[in-house]
Amino acid sequence: MPQVYFSLGTNLGDRARNMAAAATGLAEFVTITAQSSAHETAPWGPNQDQPHYLNACLGGETALSAEILLQKIKRLEQQIGRGVTEKWGPHVIDIDLIFYGDQVVTVGEKQFPPHSLEERAFVLAPLAEIAPDMRHPATGKSVVEMLNAVAYAELAAQHIE
């Protein structure tokens, strides 16, 4: 069975409850083997005028194909209360598949790991708690290496300003 990793994010409503509902729901079709602590982070992307997020990562195993797994994730998000949302906007819950085994997987227009994974400290920091040595199947970089590069880039940008 492929090892899978998910990123969870919420910035609307009872964030802790939303996160717990996501973990409980995922456990219905994924054998959860690891869960990070929760991290509070500022919004990422162009829409900064929204509440801070609570982020965490889960790891597990599943017999489901990536396509079926994504369908179940979308249904779970809707059950928790996610409606149609704007890109980069606030979410009751956002469940993203980060890794599906050691493969780069494309389902429709989405690719896993996501193209922007190496830029997302809010995903990489909790992921580093549970899978520090997991390697990006396309670049070969470990989660810790990607996190260190993001942290260095953010620090360098602060010194330039």
Tens-place pLDDT, residues 11-36: 999 999 999 999 999 999 999 999 99
pLDDT confidence of residue 7: 97
The pTM assigned to this predicted structure is 0.91
Residue 47 has pLDDT above 60, yes or no: yes
Report pLDDT for 160. 45
> 3-116, superfamily in CATH?
7,8-Dihydro-6-hydroxymethylpterin-pyrophosphokinase HPPK (3.30.70.560)
pLDDT tens digit string along 71-88? 999 999 999 988 766 777
State the pLDDT at residue 52.
92
Beta strands in the chain (DSSP E): 3-10, 31-35, 39-41, 53-61, 94-100, 105-107, 110-112
To the nearest whole number, what is the mean pLDDT of the chain? 91
Q: Report residue 156's pLDDT band, with 50, 70 and 90 as the boundaries.
A: low
**Rounded CA separation 150/144 (Å):** 10
Give CA–CA dist 13/5, Å, rounded. Answer: 24
Percent of the chain past pLDDT 90, that is, above it, reads: 76
Each domain of the chain, given as residue ranges in start order, spans 3-116
What whole-number distance in Å separates Cα of residue 151 and Cα of residue 138? 21
The band of 148, judged by pLDDT with boundaries at 50, 70 and 90, is very high
Whether the pLDDT of residue 158 is over 60: the answer is no
